Amino acid sequence: MKLAVVLVLLVVGSIIFHFVSPWWFTPLASNWGSIDFTINLTFWVTGFVFIAVNLFLAYAVYKFRHDKNRKALYEPENQKLEGWLTAITTLGVISLLAPGLVVWNDFVSVPEEADVIEVVGQQWQWGFRYPGKDGKLGDSDSRHVSMENPLGIDPTDEAGQDDIIVLEHEIHLPIDRPVKTLLRSKDVLHDFAVPQFRVKMDLIPGTVSYLWFTPTVDGTFDILCMELCGIAHHAMRGKIVVESVEKYTEWLSTKPTFAETQNGGKGDPIAGQASFAVCGSCHGQQGEGNMAMNAPQLSGQSPWYLRRQLHNYKNGLRGTHKDDIPGQQMASMAAMLQDDVAIKNVVAYIDSLSAPTPSSTFEGDPEHGKSLYVTCGSCHGKQGQGKFSLGAPKLAGMQDWYLKRQINNFKTGLRGVHKKDNYGSQMILMARMLSSDEAVDDVVSYINTL
């Protein structure tokens, strides 16, 4: 009795929940309306079955509840009835499957005219490659992967030279043009998924998988990694900007070709020394840092990281938040370095300086910090030595007060919020695991011991 009522209420409740819930598919932004159609079809068919079966169940439970002077009907089987039910169900299933297979057929067969782009996954970054003028992607192999060639493109392959390399997590696509994305991974399984496009496919190391879609709406869409790929799986994000062909081609023209990325020379320390004089006034002539001036130690930090940060300051990816006073100072300083060459030089000079080991400025519980650091270590290295391949800077031997402030900046959104700052946005997600100030102190004090 009670149960019968509850069953009815549950059915009704589920229906109500469905209609009031604001949680439903995000608006479609690709050609895959047909997928949405099959979903809705399935939803209504199964929804009907759900309601029918359970209301019938509830009714039976209510109608035939115990009554001592009624005897249950003795009916071993009723083949006619069972036959009918089987037939109807079969029809129901066919009505669901048939459209599904038709749409799948579309998905499997990629249109001839589709543009091809390549998506490369690695823990826990996205990389992208456009075919360039010749319209062909050059060969690639994980054997070629190196600091200068993160996508592992075959340097000897002509077709590869003009390929356009995009290493920030944001790519642009022209609207209303079908795209075929070739998917490949450098390390483990990943999954390239864009909810608004309704498509996803795994990236597998050693093989190339694919999917295709036609973006139909202007705007920015999230790329999520949907195959478990380790600790920062949830922080492996990217963006797709869909825009007019003009804007798209303009954007693409600003990106370097593979050949261009290969001839980046080393900086010149002598030239760098001159410009460093200014920096030295805050950071110290040995780049040892100066807490009073909020200027962190520079010597000992990996050059590639310093270069990236100087670019970030220069291009407004960092030091723009109104509450980030030191950041703003630094941004204005970085502006004085004219171009990439200047940056390379000054970094080359800093690289030549000898790094002192800073003294700790506050107390924490390294033991607790150690356990917290397990997560950090998978990117920054067990010894905090930093890992270029993950874009994770050196932490060991850096000043604790600075580390602490940066972690808090990430947590409070003073740093890493800029759309283009993909490493920053990742760090935001990771920093959140240090929910209390103690936790921050502890982990930093552990890093100090490395």
Contacts with ligand HEA by CB under 6 A lie at 45, 49, 53, 89, 92-93
204 counts as binding another protein under rule CB under 8 A: yes
AA identity, residue 267: G
CB-CB contact of 37 with 45 (8 Å): no
Using the rule CB under 8 A, give the single segment among 1-9, 168-176, 253-261, 357-365 that binds another protein.
Answer: 1-9
Which run of H or of E encompasses 126? Answer: strand 125-130
For ligand CUA, the binding residue among 199, 236, 331, 376 (CB under 6 A) is 236
Structure token pair of residue 313: 């300051």
177 counts as binding ligand CUA under rule CB under 6 A: no
* Beta strand ranges found along 150-278 (DSSP E): 164-166, 170-174, 179-185, 190-194, 199-203, 209-213, 219-225, 237-243
Q: Which is nearer to ligand HEA, 17 or 48 (CB)?
A: 48
Using the rule CB under 8 A, give the single segment among 259-267, 294-302, 350-358, 383-391 that binds another protein.
Answer: 383-391
**Which phi and psi angles does 310 have, rounded to 5°?**
-60, -40
233 counts as binding ligand CUA under rule CB under 6 A: yes
Whole-number minimum distance, CB 232 to ligand CUA, in Å?
8
| Rounded to 5°, angle at Cα 297 from 296 and 301 | 120
Whole-number minimum distance, CB 210 to another protein, in Å?
9
Contacts of 139 (CB under 8 A, 6+ apart): 153, 154, 157, 159, 160
241 binds, among another protein, ligand CUA, ligand HEA, none (CB under 5 to 8 A by kind): none
Q: Which is nearer to another protein, 161 or 426 (CB)?
A: 426
Interaction residues for another protein, span 7-26 (CB under 8 A)? 7, 10, 14, 17, 21-26
Contacts of 94 (CB under 8 A, 6+ apart): none
For another protein, the binding residue among 3, 270, 293, 336 (CB under 8 A) is 3
CB neighbours (10 Å) of residue 309?
A: 20
**Which phi and psi angles does 399 have, rounded to 5°?**
-75, 130
Interaction residues for ligand CUA, span 2-61 (CB under 6 A)? none
6 binds, among another protein, ligand HEA, ligand CUA, none (CB under 5 to 8 A by kind): another protein
Beta bridge partners of 166: 128
227 counts as binding ligand CUA under rule CB under 6 A: yes
Angle between helices 422-431 and 366-380 (to 10 degrees): 150
Using the rule CB under 6 A, give the single segment among 75-83, 152-160, 225-233, 402-410 that binds ligand CUA.
Answer: 225-233
75 counts as binding another protein under rule CB under 8 A: yes
CB-CB contact of 138 with 239 (8 Å): no
For another protein, the binding residue among 171, 298, 355, 428 (CB under 8 A) is 428
For another protein, the binding residue among 134, 141, 176, 323 (CB under 8 A) is 141
**Which phi and psi angles does 243 have, rounded to 5°?**
-150, 180
119 counts as binding another protein under rule CB under 8 A: no
**Which phi and psi angles does 252 have, rounded to 5°?**
-60, -35
Binding-site ranges for ligand CUA (CB under 6 A): 121, 124, 190, 225, 227-229, 233, 236
